[in-house]
Amino acid sequence: MTETLPIAPWRVFTVTVRAVRRLSPSFTRVTFTGADLDRFADNGYDQRIKLALPLAGQRAATLPHGADWYAQWRALPEHLRNPIRTYTVRAVRPHLAEVDVDLVLHGDGGPATRWARRATVGDEIALVGPDAGYDGNHGGVEFRQSAGSTLLLAGDETAVPAISGICARLPVDARGTVVLEVPEAADVLPLVAPPGVEVRWLPRGTGGYGSRLVPAVTAAAGELLASEASRAAQPVPDVDVDTEILWEVPEEVPPVPLYAWLAGEAGVIRTLRRHLVAERGLDRRAVAFMGYWRLGQADVS
């Protein structure tokens, strides 16, 4: 008798590039296809996945399969270990066995940007994502919302795909503000949101990361909380973003007037975390802060 192995929340999909579309100077959309992508779970919102990228001089990338794929990958010699990077799903079409991923082009120094700039139809890599055959919680979705809460969604260009995915799944009566800082005006992309959600795009130009995001989020928080009585500031433990990961998300959100979701460069997000919680007094159980990357440091999985 053949033993039936239990289905895990995540699995390794071997995928091929079906299409590459340059959306703007800083964004490229890659459409992946694969024989078993009809089993990719369409969870929406800010669903995270991992892409294994080719080693130098290669066009293809692979990962070990099975529930212990990560341990097997870590056990490989470094020169044989395909680099892994984390992204957000932009769209899923199970009936076509397709998944879209939007990639941000940051210079040409890292393996992710190098691959994204050169990706062509037919390239084969590995994608780690949620298995639709698993009937429990897959994980990798951090967006939460308490019914009736006003929303504040904000981030830099690395958060644009996630926030776009969140907005696409919001109920039609959702209300709030979206603030997105991007490198230049040509990076303003079409974003579908309910009529009660205002979307503010902020081209950064020659300014530094957060130069427009921080004051805009501060202003938006003031507007959204203007009708509330003042709140007591809450202490927040400091995070050394040079040595620690800034990733603070609630599992469940209580009934609150405002729910905030912020992601981007870790130093900028730490500043916003301090302002919203320590200065504005927002309930820490209703805020998600995620340092997607750190200025001056290589991305890690």
Q: How far apart, in Å, are the Cα atoms of 199 and each of 160, 179, 193?
A: 11, 6, 8
Other CB atoms within 10 Å distance of the CB of residue 23: 16
The residue-averaged pLDDT of 247-254 equals: 87
Residue 109 has pLDDT above 70, yes or no: no
For the whole model, what pTM was predicted? 0.90
Q: Using CA of residue 188, residue 291, residue 195, residue 31, what is the dihedral sign?
A: positive
- Calculate helix-pair angle for 266-273, 213-224, nearest 10 degrees: 30
* Burial label, 80 (beta-carbon count in 10 A; 0-12, 13-18, 19+): exposed
Mean pLDDT over the full length of the chain: 89
pLDDT one-digit tens code per residue, 41-62: 999 999 999 999 998 888 888 8
d(Cα 160, Cα 88) in Å, to the nearest integer? 9
Choose from 181-185, 239-243, 245-249, 285-289 the range with maximum mean pLDDT.
181-185
Mean pLDDT to the nearest integer, 277-284: 88
Residue 237 has pLDDT above 60, yes or no: no
pLDDT tens profile 113-123: 888 888 999 99
Query: Torsions phi, psi of 186, nearest 5?
Result: -70, -10
- Rounded mean pLDDT, 69-84: 91
Give the pLDDT band of residue 244 (cuts 50, 70, 90). low
Residue 253 has pLDDT above 80, yes or no: yes
